[in-house]
Structure 1
Amino acid sequence: MLFQTPSLVSALCFLYPLFPHPVAAVWPAPQKITKGDAVLYLNQNIEVTYNGAFIPYTYGYTPSGFNSKEIVQAGISRALTGIFNSKFVPWILHKPGAKYEPDLSEQEWLKTLEIIQTAEDDPSAFKPLAGEVDESYNLTLSETGEVKLTAVSSIGVLRGLETFTQLFYQHSTGTFWYTPYAPVSIQDSPKFPHRGILLDTARHFFPLEDILRTIDAMSWSKLNRLHVHVTDSQSWPLVIPSMPELSEKGAYHPSETYSPEDIEKIQKYGAYRGVQVYFEIDMPGHIGSVSLSHPELIVAYNEQPYHWWCAQPPCGAFKLNNTAVDEFLEKLFDDFFPRIEPYSAYFHTGGDELNKNDSMLDEGIRSNSSEVLQPLLQKFIDAQHKRVREAGLTPVVWEEIPLEWNVTLGEEVVVQAWLGGSTVKKLTGKGHRVIDSNYNFWYLDCGRGQWITWENGLPFRTGYPFNDWCGPTKSWGLIYSHDPTANLTAEEAKLVLGGEVAVWSETIDPMNLDSIVWPRASVAGEVLWSGRIDENTGQNRSQIEAFPRLTEFRERLVKKGVRASPITQEFCVQGEPWECEFAM
């Protein structure tokens, strides 16, 4: 039987004051931070300069173009507005009756916010390949009220401004904003350049406001890639003006489509916040919705029983030995690529879960032999990746393409790993650059039951208790425990660009999106920004240290309009970390 002895509890109570409750933000954890206990107040008249020029604080400022000054000015507007409008009075972080805010009788004020960008932005700064933009920043806040934020790029400035916002609370009087942590010194930079979320918009459609709110929360979490899995066999919500029949027949409803204007708005909104939005049209499987407008290009659409033909209905794959498919994709990409290239560095061509049996129904193949299909798939991938490159984009594929199908890929192609185990090591061992989305840790849809239904009788009993394939639920602690570079050599680890949490939407729609994604995506965000090792201690970052910061960050998300789930009961939010720690 596990229990805590009185002597152990006393010991814990004695030890934990050495590590005081760190309600001082900051999420994700900076690489290096020191802070004091002096109080400084912030008002809307703070003098802000950028490279020596005065920048007025303008509520709701929207950039007029992609240049450093516009990006930074909009970032300043969002940062200060976020502080003044959040109404975050932090009573929930303290025990009832505790004194948690400063006395207003003595007030020292922040005087200046000086922002210095030390280098000019390269044009790629607003749509970079992984590692092309320097996101590092240094932030100091003196006890006498001077704030200095220095960064190499405007994107680094945005990251520093997000950290700045997390140092402040609103006083319960409602008219004062303060930080109790002066002086502050932070030196910060990300461990991984690719820190993302995959959002599936084909199983369920997400209106623009949900996607834009997701981008906002990503920027607050220092996540920088939104991978939109925009089409699949279930639906084709993407409007292609030269091929209107695709969405007219393939979307769930005319109201559930993304116009060219919508796509541009999503991408611009992200770019202004340092979040690159890139798209995936999964192929040659997961493409059955094309059959609704072009049945001559697709095999196995809605064939039953579906599990012979695909992972989930309604199935459907491109014919791999049909020139009409290539002509279709040429027309599609000629329309789509020029519109997304100004804001994206990547395009994802998919390639997961291609079922060999589909080609048994293809009159041009009639075989499910790997020896027959592999050369056809190699030719298909080569042709599409050539188009991606010619459009100025870098191809991304799922891991099955190189590992299961042994397709040879271009050196620059990025491979997204999801099946766990030794996958990342195999890919990096072959020299591939990798995005890690290990389903054992980072599939946020898992552990909530199947989307399928069961008959009565034997199949019903066989299905009990109706778990999904990727359970258990990926709790914040499980997500936090994952290291994308575990068991890799130093050279292999260099090829891991970062990772993405996956939001497959079979059982997720606008009603539960926020509560499923947040704050768990932020947890992966800290792993990818800060790394699993705390540079200050040389030890793995622990849940006991992360927990109070995460609970505070979750409260900030809620105050900004994100319906993020709680990670614990309110007693634990208000208590000391040791009070809710499992100890033996």
Structure 2
Amino acid sequence: MLSKAVLTLVLATVTSVRAVWPIPATIETGDKTLWIGEALSVTYNGDKVCWRPTSNNHPCPLDDDTMDTNVGSLFWQLPWIRNYVAVGGPKFSSKEIVKGGVSRAMEAILDDNFVPWKLYPRLELESTEPSLRKPKTYVSCLDITQTGKDTAKTFKPLAGDVDESYNLTLGTDGKAAISAVSSIGVLRGLETFTQLFFQHSQGPIYTTKAPVKITDAPQYDHRGVLMDVSRNYLPLDTIYRTIDAMSWNKLNRLHIHATDSQSWPLEIPALPELHQKGAYAKGKTYSPKDIAAIHTYAIQRGVEAIVEIDTPGHFGIVALSHPELITGWGATPWSSYCAEPPCGQIQLNNPKTDAFFDKLMDDLLPRLSPYSAYFHTGGDEVNFNEYTLDPTVGTNDSAVIVPLLQKFIDKHHARVRKAGLVPMVWEEIPASYNVTIGEDVVVQSWLGDEAIKSLTGQGHKVITSNYNYWYLDCGRGQWLNIPEGEALEANWPFNDWCGPTKSWRLVYSYDPRAGLTDDEAALVLGGEVGAWAETIDEVNLDSILWPRSSAAGEVLWSGRTDSAGENRTQFDAAPRLAEFRERMLARGVRADPVYMTFCTQGGNATTCSL
């Protein structure tokens, strides 16, 4: 019998076993059991999809015009495929995207699933699981239809270029279907499809949700994670794993903060001295092949990588290879000249600066433009006092510095546009320094709701990373050492600047468009959670990001409010997020628990509530 799990009523009527994350626009589920296995037939626009090789001797055939993506994520980590991508250039097709998505979805369902004992009452899993003795109806086919045609913009989109909507049905007869306008929409539908199934304690895979009918589409075009690879180097497999988890959460932008004053891990063949002197160690760098592989891996999963070279601040590391271009390197006390050590900014009035950036960007940007529509030029935390040390400026007078900043930004953004990319900046450029920027420029705001209202009120396109809600490094303690004595007493108990910790509940409570007019709200393209890496590396990144980024992911995909205009509550979110956390664990991401097992076994979110 069909029960409509309208989202505003999910808490009252549906336990976590009927969960989908992020919650779809509409979802109807039933209570019939279906099973699924390797006999599943998958078609894409009528053509059979070979999603699983039967053996090494009988692999899925390799298409002449596409790269084989059927063997899962490890395929893209092989050195030879990174060579192929760098040499052959980006080659993407709808069929390739969908084939890879099908393979990964079935891998998640059949190989990386989990027994949901945490989601049933204590010690009652076996009595509530579907019986293995009764006749079984299997999901026999999954028919995928793409109704629109992908273009080059599909794989390197600006906000709004891609229709990510999808429809998903699963009948009690075992016939499933996904329809979407784009291949990226197909990927989103496939990720939802994976969440319909569980592993039986005796091994087989089943769902108790049939029939299923889902329609879905995102509320925001830009749904991202900021990853800082400069303050602590992150290995490629860590980046790949993060992209995987983003795709499961229907997040679609990976913002790579590639360089900062602490290190320069990015290899620039035209300027090899940058990484040779600026990387933390040999091998702790990203080659052009690595960057191409990251972009390709992301695109295959419906994620666009956006690289940031922060300028003109946060640039001190270049002093190790080009001291003539940098002011403030090694300045003391550092707190007078920069936000964190080591200091160092570009000399704004040095004639050599233009030639350096021409050479840097002529190398880098043509290698990024085939894969991404954006390039982030930074612009945050420029310390005017540091320009008292700049022999080409010699003052902290904004009347002198702002015109020089304007000239620098104008030239820098012209380089970005010349490469066919759209510039992004941190909000200080227009908001704090009164630098004029083009109408195409996307402004990333981190200073809060008032800043977003001011920026959108001026007509700027904005993505939000409001530090009060979405800075995930906050509340974990000070990373600076405090000397004994008066300073120790003043700084005890060594809290960081942006505490408290942003729990998933706080992340989930944020509405990026709250308090805005309709015209202002339309300029908020989406948002990003921030994982600044002073105390983050590959060991703890998963637990920092997940499931808190999942909470932001639902806000950005599904909206902070439901179709009735009511806030989505923690009571609705917590059981679904707890279940989704188990799915991430099963697929290899070490996400933190949402709450204790006692709560998940309670059957609904009121078990653990005030």
Q: TM-score, normalised by structure 2?
A: 0.91
Q: What is the CA–CA distance in structure 2 between the aligned matches of 1:576 and 1:471, rounded to whole Å?
A: 33
Query: Does residue 541 of the first structure (1) align with residue 552 of the second (2)?
Result: no
In structure 2, the CA distance between the partners of 1:338 and 1:21, relative to structure 1 (3 Å rule), is same
Partner of 1:408: 436
| Unaligned residue ranges in structure 1 (runs of 5+) | 1-14
Distance verdict in 2 for CA 1:312–1:179, change over 3 Å:
same
Q: Give structure 2 stretches of 5+ with no counterpart.
A: 1-8, 53-69, 77-84, 86-90
Equivalent position of 1:120 in the other structure: 149
Q: Deviations over 1:40-95 (max 9, x none)?
A: 11111111111111112225166993000111011111111111111411111112
Q: How many residues align?
A: 567
Residues 195-204 or 50-59, more deviating: 50-59
What is the rounded CA distance, in whole Å, between the counterparts of 1:480 and 1:16 in structure 2? 17
Displacement of 1:579 in angstroms is: 4.4
Letter in 1 for 2:348: L
Q: Which residue pairs with 2:173 in the alignment?
A: 144
Whole-Å separation in 2 of the counterparts to 1:538 and 1:372: 49
What is the distance in 1 between the residues matched to 2:605 and 2:215?
A: 29
TM-score by length of 1: 0.95
Indicate conservation of the 8 Å contact 1:282/1:350, yes or no. Answer: yes
The alpha carbon displacement at 1:570 in A equals 1.4
Contact 1:91 1:100 in 2 (8 A): no
Structure 1 position 470, deviation (Å): 0.3
1:18, CA displacement in angstroms? 4.2
Aligned to 2:44: 50
Separation in 1, partners of 2:508, 2:184? 25
Within 5 Å, which residues of 2 pair with 1:3-22?
Answer: 18-22=12-16
Contact 1:44 1:57 in 2 (8 A): no
Matched with 1:554 is 581
Say if 1:485 and 1:496, in contact at 8 Å, map to a contact too: yes
Within 5 Å, which residues of 2 pair with 1:38-437?
A: 38-58=32-52, 59-60=70-71, 65-98=91-124, 99-104=127-132, 105-174=134-203, 176-437=204-465
Counterpart residue identity of residue 471, structure 1:
G
What is the rounded CA distance, in whole Å, between the counterparts of 2:16 and 2:386 in structure 1? 56
Q: What is the DSSP-based 3-state SS (H/G/I as helix, E as strand, rest coil) of the residue aligned with 1:304?
A: coil
User: Structure 2 CA distance, aligned partners of 1:256 and 1:463?
Assistant: 34
Give the conservation status (yes or no) of the 8 Å contact 1:138–1:188.
yes
SS at 2:437's partner residue? Answer: coil
Write the letter of the residue equivalent to 1:32: T
1:487 corresponds in structure 2 to: 515
Contact 1:544-1:581 within 8 A present in 2 as well: no
Residues of 2 paired with 1:578 and 1:52: CA distance? 43
Cα separation, partners in 2 of 1:37 and 1:132, compared to 1, 3 Å: same
CA separation of 1:20/1:117 partners in 2, compared to 1, >3 Å: closer, same or farther?
closer
Instruction: Answer whether contact 1:48 1:114 (CA < 8 A) is retained.
Output: yes
Secondary structure in structure 1 of the residue aligned to 2:474? coil
Partner-residue secondary structure (3-state), 1:422: helix
Matches within 5 A, 1:432-581: 432-535=460-563, 537-581=564-608
Aligned counterparts of 1:402 and 1:100: Cα–Cα separation in 2: 59
Corresponding residue of 1:24? 18
Distance 1:107 1:96 in 2: 27
* CA distance in 2: counterparts of 1:95 and 1:404, whole angstroms: 55
- Counterparts in 2 of 1:559 and 1:548: CA distance versus 1, 3 Å: same
**Aligned AA (1:470):** C
**1:548 to 1:149, Cα distance in 2 relative to 1, 3 A:** same
Contact 2:319 2:344 in 1 (8 A): yes
For the Cα contact (< 8 Å) 2:366–2:419, is it kept in 1? Answer: yes
> Is the 2:571–2:606 Cα contact (8 Å) retained in structure 1?
no
The two structures, once aligned, show a CA RMSD in angstroms of: 1.4
Question: Aligned partners of 1:270, 1:578: CA distance in 2, in Å?
Answer: 35
Q: CA deviation at 1:581?
A: 3.8
By how many angstroms is 1:578 displaced? 4.4
